[in-house]
Amino acid sequence: MRILVTGGAGFLGSHLCDALLAEGHTVVAVDNLLTGRLSNLEHLACESRFKFELHDICEPFDYGKVDYVFDFASPASPVDYMTHPVETLRVGSLGVFNALDVARKYNARFLISSTSECYGDPLEHPQRETYWGHVNPIGPRSVYDEAKRFAEAATMAYARYHKVDTRIVRIFNTYGPRLQLIDGRVISNFMRQAMRGEDLTVYGDGLQTRSFCYVSDEIDGILRLAHSDERLPTNIGNPREFTILECAELVLKVTSSRSRIVFEPLPVDDPKQRCPDISKAWQKLCWQPKIDLEAGLRLSMDYFRKCLGAEETPVRPATKGSSPIGTRPKDGAVPIALG
Ligand code: UDP
């Protein structure tokens, strides 16, 4: 197949490109590099079946006939989507329409990367795909949550009215190599802080929960869904639930760090609990994750170490006065090479 991956330079998009190439396909990756990085793709520079197109998918595009479109273009970490709120809403609406139009034009299949954020601060636990969610439509997270809920609605409309053959994956917190060390997410923040001997910043009381899926498990689930006939939303995530405090302690153990844990204000609308019910993925796709959090963190250590090695300027630890959206190291202090 000839496959288009939007957001192909991002964390998940770039791993998806690798997996699709490994399956023998030809891949065209499109990205505007707002949060994606060419360094995620530089190992593919000599791959003849791979092409990168620098483009913002909010503007129409056409890179020729394709058989499958994977729409993975969007800022995804809370700090990123709150830093780029309008871009996030645009890519989840205009961008998704443009990607759907490509699929429609070429009679290609289409898979949208959706998110556990569709469930908001959930009142049902664990979250099944049938749960409609509990989302604040005007809060700071709404730019991402509502964009993804809109993206799901647009995808279903193209399936119903334009007969596009679509899939929807709801991705739960995923981590691993290529996660940006400065994207403000909990795993990247904790790994970076622990390895630098800085305080680990737990927001709130640390009793809120998340479940963390290692990237190879996530990609495996997404590909199984892509090749299946399942057209309704499907959760792909690790159902082992951790409190953020447990997560901090595990990072300290894995990195053998003597950093302390400090507490900072909880960001606005931070979900209290999040855990996927993956019985559907198991029944329909025979999928379940294989790598637990401790093993996954160990597998990610080399990558995080390399990222830290690339940091040239000492960065202030983020221990005081966190913003309502969480914290990440100051932009500009951490040079990240773009390829
Ligand atoms: N979090 C934290 N310290 C950090 C970064 C995040 O305690 O340095 C918390 C955050 O408040 C949330 C959880 O960890 O409860 C996961 O945050 P993340 O930004 O990774 O993603 P989310 O699941 O909220 O989209």
Note the Cα 33 to chain centre separation in Å.
Answer: 15
Burial state string for 212-238 with b = 16 or more CB within 10 A and e = fewer than 16: bbbbbbbbbbbbbbbeeebeebbbbbb
CA 292 to chain centre: 18
Over 50: is that where the pLDDT of 249 sits?
yes
Minimal CA–CA distance to 286: which of 240, 216, 227?
227
pLDDT given at position 326:
56
Q: Could you tell me the residue ranges of all domains in the chain?
A: 2-313
CA 185 to ligand 1 centroid distance, Å: 6
From 114, 198, 208, 210, mutation site for ligand 1 pocket: most ligand atoms within 8 A of C-beta: 210
Indicate which residues carry an active-site annotation. 144
Instruction: Locate 84 and state its tokens.
Output: 């780029």
pLDDT in tens, 219-242: 999 999 999 999 999 999 999 999
Ligand 1 neighbour 173 (Cβ under 6 A): yes
CA atoms within 13 A on the CB side of 278: 27
pLDDT score of 115 more than 90: yes
- Mean pLDDT score of the chain: 92
State how far the Cα of 260 lies from the Cα of 109, in Å rounded to an integer: 49
pLDDT at 331: 36
Which band of pLDDT confidence, cut at 50, 70 and 90, is reported for residue 317?
very low
Q: Three-state DSSP class for 37?
A: coil
Residue type for 287, please? W
336: pLDDT strictly greater than 50? no
Distance CA 231, CA 252 (A): 41
Q: Is the pLDDT of residue 172 over 90?
A: yes
Closest CA to 119 of 129, 106, 105: 129
The pTM assigned to this predicted structure is 0.92
What is the H or E stretch that residue 336 is in? Answer: none
Confidence of residue 327 (pLDDT cuts 50, 70, 90): low
Provide the CATH topology of domain 2-313: Rossmann fold (3.40.50)
For 95-110, the pLDDT digits (tens) are 999 999 999 999 999 9
Instruction: Verify whether ligand 1 is closer than 6 Å to residue 246 (CB atom).
Output: no
Instruction: Please tell me the distance between residue 125's alpha carbon and the centre of ligand 1 in angstroms.
Output: 18
* pLDDT tens sequence across 117-149: 999 999 999 999 999 999 999 999 999 999 999
Amino acid letter, 37: R
- Written as six digits, the tokens of 308 are 């830290």
Question: Which atom of ligand 1 is nearest the CA belonging to 274?
Answer: 23
Is 45 in a helix, a strand, or coil?
A: coil
Cβ 208 under 6 angstroms from ligand 1: yes
Which of 35, 186, 273 has the most ligand 1 atoms within 8 A of CB, as the residue to mutate?
186
Q: What are the tens digits of pLDDT across the range 4-29? A: 999 999 999 999 999 999 999 999 99
Residue 118 near ligand 1, beta carbon < 6 Å: no
Task: Give 53's strand partners.
Answer: 30
Choose between 333 and 60: higher pLDDT.
60
Query: Before 137, cis peptide (omega within 30)?
Result: no
pLDDT value of position 116 = 97
